[in-house]
Structure 1
Amino acid sequence: MFTSKETFKKRFLDKFERVYGKSFEDSTIQEQYATLGMLVREYASQDWIHTNERYRAESQKQVYYFSIEFLLGRLLGTNLMNLGIRDVCEAGLKELGISLSQIEEQEIDAGLGNGGLGRLAACFLDSLASMDYPGHGCGIRYKHGLFEQKIVNGYQVELPEQWLRNGNVWEVRKAGLAVEVKFGGHVEVSNSNGKMNFHHVNAETVSAVPHDMPVIGYENETVNTLRLWSAEPSPYRPDRDVMKYKQETEAISEFLYPDDTNVEGKILRLKQQYFLVSAGMQSILNSYLKTGQDIHDFHNHVAIHINDTHPVLAIPEFMRLLIDERNLSWEEAWHITTNTISYTNHTTLSEALEQWPISIFQNLLPRIFMVVEEINERFCMKLWKQYPNQWERIENMAIIAHDMVKMAHLAIVGSHSVNGVAQIHTDILKKREMKLFYEFYPEKFNNKTNGITHRRWLMKANPQLTDIINDRIGTEWIREPKQLEQLEKYACDPNFQDAVYEVKQVNKHHLAEKIRQHTGIVIDEQSIFDVQVKRLHAYKRQLLNILHIMHLYNRLSYEPNFTITPRTFIFGAKASPGYYYAKKIIKLINTLAEKVNNDPRTKDYLKVVFLENYSVSLAEEIIPATNVSEQISTASKEASGTGNMKFMMNGAITIGTMDGANVEIHELVGDDNMFTFGLSAQEVLAYQQRGGYNSFEYYHHDKRIHQVLEQLMNGFFSVTDSEFEHIYDSLLIQNDEYYVLRDFASYSDAQMKLSKMYENRSKWSQMSIMNIAKSGVFSSDRTIREYAENIWGVTSSAYVR
């Protein structure tokens, strides 16, 4: 289609004039972006059609990945790269006086996700397509993402995230494939020929309309589908206030993660979850039935994966569809369901395991509640046979107990595979959080360490580093990222060290310019760029980082002979709107930045920067410029992490606890190429089980800790003394739940070691290269291959062809 830049220019200009009906000379840059996006989508459409035709013709087993989030980032650059047409498009646009990089800046990050859960799902879709696996995503088309973050006087302010204000050039609305989803009402039961029949009556019906987006594989002509569902009024609307019905219906797909601190918010969250799975399961079942294949063989042709507990209602919904609409027996339906569905757990925090009050669940989803009750009854009967008279064990394992429906329990019981996302995480699930279930279902549990797509996080985000890697080891690593290990032999090569160092400095210059333009802060490009960007949560311990910066500031201010290698500490994070504590930490970061950055005694050595509205596209600029990757969560609390992998792949050195995938990074790079500190997971668990931790001991016996904690309250900052009282109390009065003070000394020592190491440029470059060389195992290609072979039982169509 684009055989030359001349062909491209003609198609581009023709497309623009047809769409906008005016001369190209009168175009805006937003119109130029939309034109290019539509042209690229159309370019991929033939492969999209052929991919689906090929899957049907070859009767390949399909994978459907259900996730409440898909944090895609910008798609234009990735799609151009994967289609292999970036160079010709860039050259053609240049002759038209257009900068491709400026056009790419016009794309707004899709507001379909928030953190690691959603970014993992996006990486998985990329790997599925790039490795020729027949795998598709299923999510919700939120009109607004989490929120757009603004920092005003140091405080987080939330504004609606208007990612669809200019439309979405990548989606195709398919109203003809809409399905109906029902809420409320009640169930009437009848009996005919000895079989019970269930009729959901007086329900509120919502129309689920699919919007399909192409997921383009890397230079392989495979294009899979991300299907996003939008809630719209149904033609079968209830006989009541039309405007209220429309408003309530559209609210289902209005916002990612609506506030669930009140009953109305909880109902809306549960509505979202059922809406996603009901629409998705109906669509999948309809597609399958069109093939004419036997319903009893469904699980041999379809694999459905639920990403955390949000889509777990896929289990009872599939049972409902098979029993109520396909007339299967309970036993037949259960066999198909449990052999179709697999589940990934993403947390070790018991408070993060979803559960719903029966009072909400039963009223909103009466038929689904009946199915869950039956699943629970049958499961508890099995438990009774295995563990007679062990009432407490059965109570702790029940799906419904204490007036709550426990979603993680339902996920385990109703799936054939349960996986953690890092080896230490899976071990904790087996030994602690899900110990009883592991004892009952040992064959279900397995580990699949997370991964990231190297195509976005190295090739797209860091093209100059990609070029020097290609110059040294060729391009085979792009298909087999583990071949990055070949770089290990160049780790001590001065020429390659210099090349890696220079790329890092160029990336640091670009980020420093962005920071200057957006914040007015001028930073030393020769300083250590020390970065902690991720969702803001107490267990991720941004607070530990802040307290250490305060300590460095105190030493620089009051010890005349103390100096450090200049450091720039960069933060980026959103705090959930209702998470008061996390929002106070954002205020603390910005208050500290104001003090540190304007102090003539310290400004040449220390800078603190908070970049507002952290996103995938911002991460693509930050990560390649980073020297030090802060992965400092309380050991045992982070399931895996994927930011740690992205930084590693771009040559940053990790300072971290032995938590999540940090453990596996450490196994690969060793003590010589990573800085570790702090309590082990076993020590944290021991404290939690047996007690014995007293944060006041560290406050009283460590002068550094005493000083920085007092500074939170004594007027050290130009705020009221009560501004950070909540943080102060969390560390002392509430006994420091995440062991910030316990790990402070160890963290400070590791930071001092790190600072001295950075002064040896050759050694630091060697460490950087070793991290890049060992990062290939963390490609999501490896993760997806393990899922495909060990859980889903699907084959790459590259082998079929």
Structure 2
Amino acid sequence: MPESRPASHPLALAPVTAPPRTADAFARRFLHNLNFARGVALSASSASDRYLALAHTVRDYLTAHWLEDVRRQKETQAKAVCYLSAEYLLGRQLDNDLLAAGLAEIAAEALASCGVDLDELRDQEVEPGLGNGGLGRLAACFIDSLATMAVPSIGYGIRYQYGIFRQTFVDGQQVEQPDAWLALGSPWEFARPEDAQTIGFGGCTETYDDDGVERSRWVPAWNVQAVPYNYMVPGFQNGRVNTLRLWSAVATDAFDLRIFNSGDYEEAVRAQTFAENISKVLYPEDSTPQGKELRLQQQYFFVAASLHDFLDTMLSDGFDLAALPERVVFQLNDTHPVIAVPELMRVLVDERRLDWDDAWEITRRCFAYTCHTLLPEALEVWPVELLGRLLPRHLEIIYRINDEFLDSVRERFGDDERLVRDMSIIAEQPVRSVRMAYLATVAGAKVNGVAELHSQLLRDRVLHDFDVFFPEKFTSVTNGVTPRRFLRLANPELSSLITAAIGDGWTTDLERLRELEPYADDAEFRAAFAEVKAANKRRAGETLRARDGIDIGDGHLLDVMVKRLHEYKRQMLKVLHVVTTYEGVVSGRVAAEDLVPRTVIFGAKAAPGYAMAKRIIHLINAVGEVVNADTRLEGRLQVVFPPNYTVTLAERVIPAADLSEQISLAGKEASGTGNMKFALNGALTIGTDDGANVEIRELVGDENFFLFGMSEPEVSDLAARGYRPEEFVQADAGLRRAIDLIASGAFAHGDRSVFEPVVSNLLHEDRFMVLADYASYISAQERVDAAYADQDAWIRSAILNVARTGFFSSDRSIRDYIDRIWHTPPLA
């Protein structure tokens, strides 16, 4: 090829610049994208055309800052955070990016000058199917805060073609449908196929002589290509834009023309189908061996691509790998990315030919691990047979890490083989497996829990022996949520009221909400706050009516429980409260007119293979069908369950809520973040002392929180004594009547068999002690009714919840990570 000539055009030599920040310039850019990117005139365009042109226009304004930030990060070699997460529950991007870029008013004016309605285009956006629940939403909040705080970072994950699933209900039962969020493409991503990484699987390892040094290498049996798609992550009105890089799997040899021409069309694309399965769906159902293998493939696929991407593209020429811990920290968001540990060791030892001890010193300073659970079954383990078959070299590396670690345990504690067995990364029973949380703890520079109680229980119970061995490793960072999305975007009326009271600046300094406290005693402010809440209820009602055909009662207390459906979160306890209230009226013991009008809103997805969770969803819908149709209640109790709860729906429901249900069994919820979002938007919490509920209650005050249930030590004591759920049923007539009503078939058209498994589970197992906390919960709900009757006092408590929960900003969480774990200063 001839040598390229030096650039001479002024634009080729100048930095990339964003378009002018005027309505006229924005309109011109919008029409240019509509005409030349979409290929249509405005007069012939569809709403989808106009939305895509708008998205590209907003993207154009961010791109100059993004390219400059990428350049400066590489040029300065500033220490970066690589956030490794299996999911990112982003929510819609248009309004978030308009807010971050300070373009909302300019865009509205520009579009209006073109005769285009911005609200119509908002409705065209499809929410990315990249996450499931709290873990993914937390990751999205954190990358938002990292950009807002100008910390160099890259979020790494998977570009799932069909998300987790789109939830529908058929006869009240959950049915999973593909979430085809990419059907029309995504205007927010930049495909970079030229930056694809080749990822190997299977095969064998072999040893060879390298100038007298015996080395190992992995010979994979098959490969896939990891193709990156970049998303921009803008900081809030600071001109900084970080990167979210998501990987999509494609075959290295996607199409065999010879086989195709022979007529075997299915076999011709078999490799393509096999490879693309890796990035098809989030959390494939893993009750089968094939499902388990696919999950492990996913995890290795994205971390291997991410590590190679950073090492290959972000380090300066001739970079000394001994300095890697001063250049990057890889944050492991739960156990899903932990296979990155042996992958980095493999790269350093086998490919970069470092000595094992030098490589281990680098590795153990480059990783940090966040544990998000207290449930033993949620701490991932991989069978040795599967890991050895899929990643044979990695298993060898894990064995050596474990052998050396156990040698150090014996050196310190002697030949206590029980302790050695308990701390081993390799579990011998029930099948020989690799305990990924243990691997992350041994390899990580730091291990953190996500709320004060969770972190203490992590040290005392889940990883106690490791805390004794590595006391300096363990720390705590309480989760947080971004106020940009969950106040500024979700609750614009409340945001305006806050700004009018305390001025600007609170969006990036949420502790300033404390300045609202005196306004709780200001009658005029309380009236304005009440009107904001009423307006949010009307808006939520309009959304549910348009989206799902659901009408919610005027003037009702909105009682909301939205979270992943799992037995430990205890949606069943909420159902028992509804059934108890209903039974009281239909039995004649309670007059309908004495009920505080209440609408209970559920939102939850159950994992496809989680049978009991799906039965509980069916029960909720069945109870709602009966309750909502029974005229004896005079419309004063309503149960609604909109399917497919999303971030977009959350932005309508959360600001409208009066009561936030955070009712997990104490000692089971790591933190929660929904509890924070509700409190920040002026909902009062009914909850146990679990997860971050403890810190919320301490901050807002006992008088502004409805506490119920056993404490964690009481739960442990009851379990140790032997929990017998039937004893609680015998002792409580109200509980007995509620369970009998469910068992009678009253919510199944008289068929007692439909919900028999749910009733039997409660009576004979009740692993999460729903029945033990029932009486306390019903009593707390009676306190809720009494408090809600005094609307002025309720609004005062709601204001104090907003004022006292600024601590739960994800910006504060990131500051804690920087101070306690990462030590990554902002890029000046």
Tell which deviates more after alignment, 459-468 or 515-524: 515-524
Within-5 A mapping of 1:95-244: 95-234=113-252, 242-244=268-270
Counterpart pick for 1:62 among 60, 80, 94 = 80
Deviation at 1:759, TM superposition (A): 1.3
Partner of 2:436: 407
Letter in 2 for 1:708: A
Partner of 1:757: 787
Partner of 1:783: 813
Deviation at 1:206, TM superposition (A): 1.0
Letter in 2 for 1:397: M
Within-5 A mapping of 1:432-511: 432-511=461-540
SS in 1 for 2:804: helix
Partner of 1:83: 101
Distance 1:515 1:202, change over 3 A: closer
> Take 2:192 and 2:551, find their aligned partners in 1: how far apart are those partners?
49
Letter in 1 for 2:153: G
Partner of 2:824: 794
> Take 2:318 and 2:254, find their aligned partners in 1: how far apart are those partners?
29
Partner of 2:6: none
Partner of 1:327: 353
Q: Deviations over 1:111-143 (max 9, x none)?
A: 111010000000000000011111110001110
Determine if contact 1:2/1:88 at 8 Å carries over to the other structure.
no
SS in 2 for 1:158: strand
Determine if contact 1:143/1:254 at 8 Å carries over to the other structure.
yes
Deviation at 1:614, TM superposition (A): 0.5
Letter in 2 for 1:209: V
Gaps of 5+ in 1: none
Counterpart pick for 1:378 among 382, 390, 404 = 404
> Take 2:767 and 2:493, find their aligned partners in 1: how far apart are those partners?
43
SS in 1 for 2:516: helix
Determine if contact 2:254/2:272 at 8 Å carries over to the other structure.
no
SS in 1 for 2:269: helix
Determine if contact 2:147/2:236 at 8 Å carries over to the other structure.
yes
Within-5 A mapping of 1:303-382: 303-382=329-408
Partner of 1:771: 801
Partner of 1:18: 36
Deviation at 1:237, TM superposition (A): 10
Partner of 1:29: 47
SS in 1 for 2:764: coil
SS in 2 for 1:198: strand
Counterpart pick for 1:715 among 745, 748, 770 = 745
Determine if contact 2:255/2:269 at 8 Å carries over to the other structure.
no
SS in 1 for 2:242: strand
Counterpart pick for 2:705 among 648, 663, 674 = 674
Letter in 1 for 2:99: M
Counterpart pick for 1:3 among 11, 14, 21 = 21
Determine if contact 1:596/1:607 at 8 Å carries over to the other structure.
yes
Deviation at 1:479, TM superposition (A): 2.2
Deviation at 1:760, TM superposition (A): 1.0
Distance 1:681 1:103, change over 3 A: same
Distance 1:284 1:757, change over 3 A: same
> Take 1:597 and 1:2, find their aligned partners in 2: how far apart are those partners?
54
SS in 2 for 1:231: strand
Tell which deviates more after alignment, 386-395 or 96-105: 96-105
Letter in 1 for 2:519: Y
Deviation at 1:194, TM superposition (A): 3.3
> Take 1:560 and 1:124, find their aligned partners in 2: how far apart are those partners?
48
Deviation at 1:243, TM superposition (A): 2.3
> Take 2:583 and 2:742, find their aligned partners in 1: how far apart are those partners?
13
Tell which deviates more after alignment, 235-244 or 60-69: 235-244
Q: Deviations over 1:420-466 (max 9, x none)?
A: 00000000011111101111111000000000000100001000100
SS in 1 for 2:633: coil
What TM-score, normalized to structure 1? Answer: 0.98
SS in 2 for 1:491: helix
Letter in 2 for 1:469: I
Determine if contact 2:533/2:655 at 8 Å carries over to the other structure.
yes
Counterpart pick for 1:549 among 554, 563, 578 = 578
Aligned residue pairs, count = 796
> Take 1:206 and 1:516, find their aligned partners in 2: how far apart are those partners?
45
Partner of 2:554: 525
Deviation at 1:687, TM superposition (A): 2.6
Deviating above 6 A after TM superposition, structure 1's stretches of 4 or more consecutive aligned residues are 236-240
What TM-score, normalized to structure 2? Answer: 0.94
State whether structure 2 residue 441 is matched by structure 1 residue 423.
no
Deviation at 1:99, TM superposition (A): 2.2
Distance 1:369 1:754, change over 3 A: same
> Take 1:700 and 1:656, find their aligned partners in 2: how far apart are those partners?
25
Deviation at 1:389, TM superposition (A): 1.9
State whether structure 2 residue 689 is matched by structure 1 residue 645.
no
> Take 1:150 and 1:101, find their aligned partners in 2: how far apart are those partners?
26
Within-5 A mapping of 1:261-280: 261-280=287-306
Distance 1:27 1:756, change over 3 A: same
SS in 2 for 1:182: strand
SS in 2 for 1:712: helix
Deviation at 1:295, TM superposition (A): 1.1
> Take 2:381 and 2:590, find their aligned partners in 1: how far apart are those partners?
56
Partner of 1:631: 662
SS in 1 for 2:281: coil
Letter in 2 for 1:276: F
SS in 1 for 2:743: coil
Deviation at 1:352, TM superposition (A): 0.7
Partner of 2:8: none
Partner of 1:616: 647
Tell which deviates more after alignment, 122-131 or 101-110: 101-110
Counterpart pick for 2:610 among 576, 579, 598 = 579
Determine if contact 2:745/2:754 at 8 Å carries over to the other structure.
no
Determine if contact 2:338/2:436 at 8 Å carries over to the other structure.
yes
> Take 2:747 and 2:161, find their aligned partners in 1: how far apart are those partners?
40
Counterpart pick for 1:538 among 547, 560, 567 = 567
Deviation at 1:560, TM superposition (A): 5.0
> Take 1:348 and 1:29, find their aligned partners in 2: how far apart are those partners?
47
Counterpart pick for 2:690 among 653, 659, 662 = 659
Identity of aligned residues (%): 43
Q: Deviations over 1:207-231 (max 9, x none)?
A: 1111110000111110000000111
> Take 2:270 and 2:70, find their aligned partners in 1: how far apart are those partners?
39
Letter in 2 for 1:667: E
Q: Deviations over 1:599-644 (max 9, x none)?
A: 1111421000001000111101100000000000011000000000
Deviation at 1:192, TM superposition (A): 3.0
Q: Deviations over 1:230-273 (max 9, x none)?
A: 11111599999652221111111111111111111111100000
> Take 2:312 and 2:550, find their aligned partners in 1: how far apart are those partners?
56
Deviation at 1:2, TM superposition (A): 4.5
Determine if contact 2:748/2:754 at 8 Å carries over to the other structure.
no
Counterpart pick for 1:739 among 766, 769, 773 = 769
SS in 1 for 2:746: coil
Q: Deviations over 1:674-718 (max 9, x none)?
A: 100001011112233x13321111111211111111112213223
> Take 2:220 and 2:453, find their aligned partners in 1: how far apart are those partners?
48
Q: Deviations over 1:355-401 (max 9, x none)?
A: 01111110000111111111111111111111222111111110112
Tell which deviates more after alignment, 454-463 or 33-42: 33-42
